[in-house]
Amino acid sequence: MSTDTPYHDQLVPGEEISRRVTNLKAHLRQTAVDGALILDPLNMYYYSGTMQQGVLCLPTEGEPVFLVRRSVERARLESPLQRIFPLKGFSQLRSTLADLGLACTTLGVAEASLTVAVFKSLAKAFPETSFTDISGPLNMVRAVKSDYEVGLIRQAGVLHRIVYDAIPAMIREGMTEWQLGAEIHQQMMSLGYTGITRFAGSGMELFCGIVSFGESGNYPTASIGPGGMTGLSPAFPLVGGTKRLGRGEPIFVDTGFGYGGYFTDKTRVFSLGPLPAAALDAQKICLEIQEAVRCRLKPGAIPSEIYDQVGNELVHSCVFRRNPATDSVRIRPLIPF
């Protein structure tokens, strides 16, 4: 593979791709499929080191085959895979794989990321092939991070911290959420932020993150996270809206930082001047809940049981009491942990 690219030092190492392919093959053998067809960009990048228009075939036995519509040249520059060939369309897919000696009686696909239109094209191209969902095995392989992956995540975290250390100097009374979001995004880009946060399970993509002031954070949201915001319009409910910052309002900033295809997620609350007592009391409650969870995170613990235990003992059993004189909230009882 050539390294004649402007970012050859960022290419996924060949041994890393080989490890991933080997791990997936072990899972595929347990599902009794001839191989996997990968079409979505996330898994394509994970198993080939590049994102192209095409189909990546990972046979249970034998070497991977990457059939690319566009761009074959770029795929060969970026991927360590050896068998990369041009593909004009789905109509040639089965015959090409057959010519390469790959069995196609039963093939695995990631149904979670496959559109109905693409699946119909596959079914037409493989009229005698049975398809089965391998979203589970694909996710299981990706869930276990290698030292290479952990290193990228840690570097993302280092850069992400620099961004948040710079945020207090950006905050000005009267600025809009969008203005603060734009300044944060500029800082992220200057550090090599890759621009898009992708969520494999939901297919959602997030641009920059969420910036909201005061009650704006309670605006209804379709996001999988807790933070709300209006955005500039219903067509772009991202980054922040036109609300201007006043003193004593919480400034909610939730962003992901991408580096080399891997991300960290960071949320912080800032303020211009002291926050109301009710907000500080709520923060203390959240810290106690967080500590209760942290103390239970031990080898062999089951996350769902921790969630239920802390929820029942510490959250659901709490009684909220507001003091009208101080506008503060007290919770009793707080179950020891």
Q: What is the CATH number of the domain that holds 227?
A: 3.90.230.10
In this structure, the answer to whether residues 19 and 133 fall within a common structural domain is yes
In this structure, the answer to whether residues 121 and 168 fall within a common structural domain is no
In this structure, the answer to whether residues 38 and 128 fall within a common structural domain is yes
Any domain includes 199 = yes
Residue spans of beta strands (DSSP E) within the chain: 35-38, 53-59, 65-70, 84-86, 106-109, 130-133, 196-198, 205-207, 209-213, 250-259, 262-271, 319-323, 328-332
Any domain includes 312 = yes
In this structure, the answer to whether residues 129 and 158 fall within a common structural domain is no
Three-state DSSP at 94 gives helix
Angstrom distance (rounded) from CA 180 to CA 244 = 10
Which amino acid belongs to residue 150? V
Residue with tokens 């009684």: 319
Last residue of a domain, one of 275, 291, 319: 275
pLDDT of residue 105: 93
Any domain includes 1 = no
325/247: higher pLDDT: 247
In this structure, the answer to whether residues 95 and 181 fall within a common structural domain is no
What is the extent of the structural domain holding 260? 145-275
Any domain includes 264 = yes
- List, for residues 124-145, the tens digit of each pLDDT value: 999 999 999 999 999 999 999 9
- Total domain count, the chain: 3
In this structure, the answer to whether residues 308 and 251 fall within a common structural domain is no
Q: 336 falls in which pLDDT band (50, 70, 90)?
A: very low
Angstrom distance (rounded) from CA 258 to CA 153 = 8
- List, for residues 24-74, the tens digit of each pLDDT value: 999 999 988 999 999 998 899 999 999 999 999 999 999 999 999 999 999
- How confident is the prediction for the chain on average, in pLDDT? 88
In this structure, the answer to whether residues 30 and 120 fall within a common structural domain is yes
In this structure, the answer to whether residues 196 and 218 fall within a common structural domain is yes
Any domain includes 70 = yes
Last residue of a domain, one of 126, 143, 160: 143
Q: 203 falls in which pLDDT band (50, 70, 90)?
A: low
For 101-140, b where at least 16 C-beta lie within 10 A, e where not — what string? Answer: ebbbeebbbbebbbeeeeeebbeebbeebebeebbebbee
Q: What is the H or E stretch that residue 293 is in?
A: helix 277-296
Is the per-residue pLDDT at 316 higher than 80? no
Is the per-residue pLDDT at 270 higher than 60? yes
- List, for residues 205-256, the tens digit of each pLDDT value: 778 889 999 999 988 887 777 788 888 998 888 899 999 999 999 999 999 9
